[in-house]
Amino acid sequence: MSKYSSKWLKVSEPSPYVLHVELARAPVNAFSTEFWTAYGKLFDSLVEDGVDCRALVVSSAFPKIFTAGLDLNDANSLGGNGVDTSRDSARASFATRNEMIRFQRAVGAPERAPFPVIVAVHGHVIGLGVDMISVCDIRYAASNSSFAIKEVDIGLAPDIGSLAFLPKITGNHSLIRELTYTARTFSAAEAEKIGLLSKVVEGGRDEVVKAALELAKFIATKSPVAVSGSKHLITHSRDHSVPENLAYTGAWNAAALMTKDISENLRATKKRDAARFAALKIPSKL
């Protein structure tokens, strides 16, 4: 999998069907346009190439921090991207909006992947870091983690995902609004209280990455048709009413239930054997 590694992204395969993506832009994983573009492309490439990944873990490569968020030294990072804004405010706004949508699509890439993405954080998780983890399927945090929805302190409303996701994926709007308006730091315990995390792992980077990789390894033993379909349907459920989701699920599973993974599971159970599933290979690369 090292062929997917790039300047600031280390990709390894610690166990079969499990990928580990490490953010590695020293010193604090600050995200420049180039960095988040590469981040989004990595996920889209894995999907387009039909890599047989069944669970993926995202973490930082550094011992002290997950990410400091946006790289404010990147000239392009606040939407300009080289547009000469002196000419016309409306044209500048259109360009900014376009850039924002590209940014949202890059950071949102984990949602488009057919496999679960588990994010394992420790240390500081600032600004863009909260957008990034909100998009992932499952969030594990080391007990030494601290979070901040930092955008208000720059002078803008978070626009890459936090506000779109948090009110739906957690269970306390009062606290979400407080954390957003104040941009204050909050602990792993408080993150757990609002329902942002599956688990707080005692310790730091090593402990939380270990726990996440074990979870990924376990998920990778399951039917990819079942796991991938579940991911897709939970995302659909989040964005639609109960009757709409039930109807969509009916159309979806009409196809999915023809999988041989069901008989393979029955066979494995009967033989007390490990089930072996074919890849969910979707060759969309031309």
Q: Write out the binding residues for a copy of itself, residues 149-208 only, by CB under 8 A.
A: 151-159, 161, 163-178, 180-184, 194-198
Compute the residue count for the chain. 286
Closer to a copy of itself at the Cβ: 12 or 172?
Answer: 172
Query: Tokens at residue 171, please?
Result: 């269970």
Closer to a copy of itself at the Cβ: 12 or 37?
Answer: 37
Number of residues that bind a copy of itself (CB under 8 A): 119
Q: Which stretch binds a copy of itself (CB under 8 A): 4-12, 16-24, 200-208, 277-285?
A: 277-285
Closer to a copy of itself at the Cβ: 33 or 67?
Answer: 33
Closer to a copy of itself at the Cβ: 63 or 182?
Answer: 182
Question: Residue 282 Cβ, how far from a copy of itself at the closest point, in Å?
Answer: 5
- Cis link prior to 224 (omega < 30° from 0)? no
Question: Residue 33 Cβ, how far from a copy of itself at the closest point, in Å?
Answer: 8
Q: Residue 203: how many CA atoms within 13 Å on its side-chain side?
A: 11
The DSSP symbol for 26 reads T
Question: Residue 37 Cβ, how far from a copy of itself at the closest point, in Å?
Answer: 6
Sorted by sequence, the CB contacts under 8 Å of residue 99 that are 6+ apart come out as 76, 79, 81
Closer to a copy of itself at the Cβ: 56 or 62?
Answer: 56
Question: Residue 219 Cβ, how far from a copy of itself at the closest point, in Å?
Answer: 5
Task: Identify which of 137, 141, 132, 146 has the alpha carbon closest to the alpha carbon of residue 183.
Answer: 146
Distance CA 211, CA 215 (A): 6
Question: Residue 147 Cβ, how far from a copy of itself at the closest point, in Å?
Answer: 14
Give residues 91-110 in contact with a copy of itself (rule: CB under 8 A). Answer: 91-102, 104, 108
Site map for a copy of itself, 233-262, x if CB under 8 A?
A: xx--xxxxxxx-xxxxxxxxxxxxxxxxxx
Asked if 64 is part of the footprint of a copy of itself (rule: CB under 8 A), the reply reads no
Residue type, 171: G
Distance of CA 220 to the CA centre of its chain: 17
Closer to a copy of itself at the Cβ: 11 or 38?
Answer: 38
Question: Residue 90 Cβ, how far from a copy of itself at the closest point, in Å?
Answer: 3
* CB crowding 227-256: b at 16 or more within 10 Å, else e: bbbebbbeeeeeeeeeeebeeebeeeeeeb
Partner residues linked to 67 by β-bridges: 125
Query: Tokens at residue 21, please?
Result: 């993506």
Question: Residue 72 Cβ, how far from a copy of itself at the closest point, in Å?
Answer: 8
Burial class (CB in 10 A: 0-12, 13-18, 19+), 139: buried
In the set 26, 89, 271, 274, which binds a copy of itself (CB under 8 A)? Answer: 89
